[in-house]
């Protein structure tokens, strides 16, 4: 997983100023909280976490079928 240095926050800072962490997540999409200078926690928007969970729950064939159905019109145009 790639982590931007701009999203790193110490656990002390997160504890003292959680609103800063929330703003960081709003702006960058995630924040990584460090404990003893080691990435320990990942904070993401709830909607993003739901999308990740959905992807984990689906298998490759189900994902393919869903994408084909969602993009049926584009596939039909490309087929011509």
Q: What is the pLDDT of residue 38?
A: 93
Q: What CA–CA distance (Å, rounded) separates 41 from 24?
A: 14
pLDDT of residue 39: 92
Could you give the domains of the chain?
Answer: 1-44 (3.40.1620.10), 46-80 (no CATH)
Q: What is the pTM of this model?
A: 0.59
pLDDT band of residue 8 (cuts 50, 70, 90) is very high
Rounded to 5 degrees, what angle do the CA atoms 35, 7, 3 make?
A: 85
**Cross-strand bridge partners of residue 31:** 43
Give residue-wise pLDDT tens across range 16-70: 999 999 999 999 989 999 999 999 999 998 888 777 666 666 677 788 888 889 9
């Amino acid at each position: 997983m790639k982590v931007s240095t701009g999203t790193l926050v110490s656990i002390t800072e997160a504890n003292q100023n959680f609103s800063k962490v929330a703003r960081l997540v709003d702006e960058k999409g995630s924040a990584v909280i460090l404990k003893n200078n080691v990435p320990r926690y990942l904070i993401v928007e709830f909607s993003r976490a739901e999308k990740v969970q959905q992807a984990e729950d689906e298998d490759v064939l189900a994902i393919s079928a869903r994408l084909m159905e969602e993009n049926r019109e584009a596939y039909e145009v490309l087929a011509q």
